[in-house]
Homo-oligomer: A and B are copies of this chain.
Amino acid sequence: MIVIMKPGATDQDVRHVVQLIQDFGLKEHVIVGTDRTVIAAIGDKRAVDKGAIETAPMVDRIMPILAPYKMASREVKQDKTSIEIGPEKFPIGGRRVGVIAGPCAVESRDQFLRTADIVKAAGCIGLRGGAYKPRTSPYSFQGLREEGLHILAEARERTGLAVVTEVMGLDSLPAVVEYADVLQIGARNMQHYPLLEAVGQVQKPILLKRGMMASLEEWLLAAEYIINAGNPNVILCERGIRTFESYVRNTLPLASVPELNERTHLPVLVDPSHGTGHARLVPAMCRAAIAAGADGLIVECHIDPEHALSDGAQSLAPDQLQELVRSLKRIAQAIGRVL
């Protein structure tokens, strides 16, 4: 941490900050510049709330140096992590690129099994579908809950696809753990720490979506909660952030993909369905995500988007999914990967 003093700080002001730094168990290093004095605090004390020093007299501001996450960082583990998912143990995070597809919600056994067949036929490696749905309005369809989980399991047996579904809270966690191959933590729950700690005690892979206003650091710290609680199998999923843009549901900032590939060893998926909110934009952004270096995609598709109970506007129709996967194979090849 670096403490920047205001111009005009006296020796006494500096000594006071040095004392605070020592109180925190850190070692100080004072640098007198032409305009300002700067004090470096040396030592690895991630747990200390260094912001408190900001209230000391004549302190201008504090600048952290260390990344606050450890186990999620490349500094601690340099090799990329590869996480196997589903009955066919598809490795997420290796040379191969995988596509997970399916409807926003499991609406009925018929709808879901028909979709599963289409997803399988298109060449995808996983099947998504919500049984418990976090909905903005209490009056919206909330999912089939346990019945939805049974349908998910049936679809897995039928197709061999890995089943990905969201776990919304502590109360439904045991049921979801029993049925799903990959547990999704939704964007709204990215900082629900009791849930992160709970899935940290599970031995299944966790798909951790980025919160729509989360910094990369906050996102990696959410992963750190899970890893720190005992589960190293965290897959990150970029799903877009909230900005001033209004033609999209979210702004999809693909530069997070190469940036994460530098900072963390965890695999990174992209969700262009939530990342744009409109089916018409999804194929181009899927191609862009793979070109940017993503390890895979999660996309929404529906056998009849016009009648979907949720997220219809961003769901691909079956023929669009097939065509998309074909074009993604070529992009993957162009960057030396395989889909």
Contacts and interface: CB of A to CB of B under 8 A. Distances in A.
A121 interface: no
Nearest to A24: B307
A279 to B, nearest CB: 6
A241 interface: yes
Interface in A24-42: 29, 31, 33-36, 38, 40, 42
A168 B140 contact: no
B244 A255 contact: no
A106 B119 CA distance: 52
Contacts of A293: 284
B288 A289 contact: yes
A65 B253 contact: no
B65 A4 contact: yes
B224 A137 contact: yes
Q: A interface, how many residues as a size bin?
A: 35 or more
A54 to B, nearest CB: 4
A332 to B, nearest CB: 9
Contacts of A139: 46-47, 68
B253 A251 contact: yes
A7 B310 CA distance: 27
Contacts of A317: 55
B245 A215 contact: yes
Contacts of A281: 255, 258-259
Contacts of A165: none
Given A52-B307, A192-B192, 6 more contacts: A36-B66, A38-B40, A38-B65, A138-B221, A216-B245, A258-B284
Interface of A: 2, 4, 7, 20, 23, 29, 31, 33-36, 38, 40, 42-44, 46-47, 49, 51-56, 62-63, 65-66, 68-69, 75, 134-141, 168-172, 188-189, 191-195, 211-213, 215-216, 218, 221, 224-225, 228-229, 241-248, 251-255, 257-259, 262, 275-276, 278-281, 284-285, 287-293, 305-315, 317, 327, 330-331, 333-335
